[in-house]
Amino acid sequence: MSKPKLFEPLRVGNVKLDNRIVIAPMCQYSCDNDGRANDWHAIHLGHLALSGAGLLTIEATAVLPEGRITWGDLGLWDDATETALRDVLQRVRAWSDMPIAIQLAHAGRKASCETPWAGGHQLAPDDAHGWQTVSASALPHYPKENAPTALDAAGMQKIRDAFAEAAKRSARLGIDAVQIHAAHGYLLHQFLSPLSNKRDDEYGGSLENRMRFPLEVFDAVRAAFPSDRTVTVRVSGTDWMDGGWDVEQTIAFAKALEARGCDAIHVSSGGVAAEQRLHPVPGYQVPLARAVKQAVSMPVVAVGLITEPEHAEAIVANGDADVVAIARGILYDPRWPWHAAAKLGATVRPPKQYLRSEPRQDRGIFPHGPFNPAAHWRNDAG
């Protein structure tokens, strides 16, 4: 029986993935208004690093305090946030050799929010946990929200420099790959979409102009991150709105990124327009990934309600994408790759401490090596 395509290795830049399953970045909103990683992040990342996936991506990590979605977001903008994340990563890496990426982000006009479990609403600039937001144009995401400040040249330079500085900090932390967040209606997507970008300077209007700032940020990160390490970008393939960002523009952006040395592109969708007409069903974003894959040579990642192993295998085997990203599904089932291996007839490497957990009906998904079950029972007697 041939090995499932989902469990074939893949090289993305210089990062070698043991399989085509990656853990997408998922915000935890669990810092204490200081952007510093803490024990929650050690628990969260630690157990996902034992999942058997090919790559773990740290959640959207703000490059500036005002770039956070909520006051509880993770950050990487100063020595204190770098030290806190280093402490967490040291604990995770002590028990897992899974490659680790980080998503660097700025929320733009969708920043300054309350945590989701406290309502998720935007906080006013004078709130104790709020601040003034910025964007491509002075247009709020929701009509009743505080309008962002349209970025001027100095503000854009500050953000470019912050992305580059966060990339340097990521390199010092030994992170294997950086993903730039240009999706889900956050700042770089706000520049890309004609729905949120109404500028009349060289950063607005035409597609070339709207891509200019995101490409400048990519160039800054690529120059700051070691040349032998991987840089990728996450995009929204469509705004799900007439007159908005669409897959044809996404393809043009992907080609421009690839020409600049981008190693992979992760295709999601939506987020920039509160009125988006979105009908999520399993695999609803896969056609966007397929369209991009047909236009570029770099690896393409598909994501979005991909919950069944057979579906993930079909996406990769059919050539719709090179990699499948699992998000909410792996929060619900942190051993999703193990269960996928069992269903598809593949193998995964568990921690040696968990070797004896392999169910009898799934014998063969763990390469046992020298593990001796009889010795376990003898030593664990009583």
Q: Mind listing the pLDDT tens digit for each residue in 152-202?
A: 999 999 999 999 999 999 999 999 999 999 999 999 999 999 999 999 999
- Average pLDDT for residues 196-223, to the nearest whole number? 98
* Eight-class DSSP state of 48: H
Percent of the chain with pLDDT over 70: 96
Q: Is 142 a catalytic residue?
A: no
Half-sphere exposure (Cβ direction) of 5: Cα atoms closer than 13 Å:
15
Q: Which of 29, 142, 186, 284 is catalytic?
A: 186
- Average pLDDT for residues 84-99, to the nearest whole number? 97
Tens digit of pLDDT for each residue in 299-353? 999 999 999 999 999 999 999 999 999 999 999 999 999 999 999 999 998 898 8
Say if residue 375's pLDDT is above 70: no
* Eight-class DSSP state of 122: B
Query: By three-state DSSP, how is residue 315 classified?
Result: helix
In this prediction, residue 378 has a pLDDT band, given cuts at 50, 70 and 90, of: very low
pTM above 0.85, yes or no: yes
What would the CATH number be for the domain defined by 5-349?
Answer: 3.20.20.70
Say if residue 137's pLDDT is above 80: yes
pLDDT at position 286 is 97
Q: Report how far residue 243's alpha carbon sits from residue 262's, in angstroms, rounded to the nearest whole number.
A: 27
Q: Report how far residue 37's alpha carbon sits from residue 84's, in angstroms, rounded to the nearest whole number.
A: 5
Mean of per-residue pLDDT scores for the chain: 94
In this prediction, residue 358 has a pLDDT band, given cuts at 50, 70 and 90, of: confident
pLDDT at position 280 is 87
Q: Where are the alpha helices (DSSP H) in 296-369?
A: 309-317, 328-332, 336-344
Residue with tokens 């969260």: 44
Say if residue 382's pLDDT is above 50: no
380 CB burial (10 A radius; 0-12, 13-18, 19+): exposed
Percent of the chain with pLDDT over 90: 89
Tens digit of pLDDT for each residue in 26-65? 999 999 999 999 999 999 999 999 999 999 999 999 999 9
Beta-bridge partners for 104: 61, 180
More confident residue, 100 or 277: 100
- Average pLDDT for residues 254-270, to the nearest whole number? 98
- Average pLDDT for residues 3-14, to the nearest whole number? 96
Say if residue 369's pLDDT is above 70: no
